[in-house]
């Protein structure tokens, strides 16, 4: 788990938590509102493990979170036709 | 807001498809796969639960045809969906689980993309909405 209150860039987060789902509280955005930095509150290979910490994050008002997978969202052995 | 072109940086992944981050309910951001072949935006049941959508009382059910099957899926309404600077309210979405191998939380469909003049710049991994 990340050191509390250390905001990292999304690239740093992806490097630090490879091939995991991460729950990030956004802390900085670019001029267009795209997230640039955030604090990791949870990381797991299991998507469901982020549910409870997400609820905790959103007990505070005005929080914005970003959940994403740091690895390849679509494995190389799959071709997606949805 | 709509008249100005909004360049939205995305993420191209395996196969060249484009993921775009979307902010739901002004608070929850996820990557959705931009899909002009999807008439409706789709969220997974996990995302629906996380943002507080009640699947026990959907607006309705719809029959959804994908490439290989037809399934009956619930339709729910998100209070807001923001892509870049473009914020839409009261957007109906389908809720459907994806194969576990896909680490994607939903599809951004034509019910959202079609409200704009959408342009894909795949070489720059960018979605432009005007």
Structural domain contains residue B4? no
Is the confidence at residue A75, as pLDDT, over 90? Answer: no
Structural domain contains residue B2? no
pLDDT of residue B4: 62
pLDDT of residue A48: 94
Structural domain contains residue B72? yes
For chain B, how many structural domains are there in total?
Answer: 1
Which residues, including other chains, have CB under 8 Å from residue A5's CB and lie 6 or more apart?
A39
- Complex ipTM value: 0.92
User: What digits encode the pLDDT tens for the residues B8-25?
Assistant: 999 999 989 999 999 999
Query: Structural domain boundaries of chain A?
Result: 8-69
Chain B residues closer than 8 Å to A32 by CB: 6-8, 84-85
Q: Do A68 and B31 touch (CB under 8 A)?
A: yes
**CATH number of the domain enclosing B56:** 2.40.70.10
Cα–Cα distances in angstroms (integers) from residue A53 to residues A76, A78, B110, B123, in the given order: 30, 31, 32, 36
User: What digits encode the pLDDT tens for the residues B18-69?
Assistant: 999 999 999 999 999 999 999 999 999 999 999 999 999 999 999 988 878 8
Q: Which residue of B has its CA nearest to A79?
A: B15
pLDDT of residue B3: 52
Q: Which residue of A has its CA nearest to B22?
A: A66
pTM: 0.92
């Amino acid at each position: 788990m990340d050191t509390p209150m250390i905001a990292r860039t999304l690239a740093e987060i992806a490097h630090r938590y490879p091939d995991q789902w991460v729950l990030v509280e956004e802390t900085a955005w670019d001029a267009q509102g795209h997230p640039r930095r955030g604090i990791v509150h949870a990381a797991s290979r299991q998507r469901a493990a982020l549910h409870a910490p997400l609820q905790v994050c959103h007990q505070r008002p005005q929080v914005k979170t970003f959940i994403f997978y740091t690895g390849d969202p679509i494995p190389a052995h799959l071709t997606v036709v949805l | 807001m709509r008249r100005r072109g909004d360049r939205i940086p995305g993420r191209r992944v395996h196969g060249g498809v484009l993921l775009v981050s979307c902010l739901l309910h002004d608070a929850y951001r996820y990557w959705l796969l931009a899909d002009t072949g999807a008439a409706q935006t789709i969220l997974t049941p996990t995302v629906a639960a996380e943002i507080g959508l009640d699947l026990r009382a959907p607006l309705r059910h719809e029959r959804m045809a994908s490439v290989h099957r037809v399934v009956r899926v619930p339709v729910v309404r998100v209070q807001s969906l923001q892509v870049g600077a473009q914020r839409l309210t009261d957007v109906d979405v389908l809720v459907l689980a994806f194969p576990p191998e896909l680490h994607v939380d939903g599809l951004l469909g034509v019910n959202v993309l079609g409200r704009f003049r959408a342009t894909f710049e795949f070489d720059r991994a960018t979605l432009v909405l005007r």
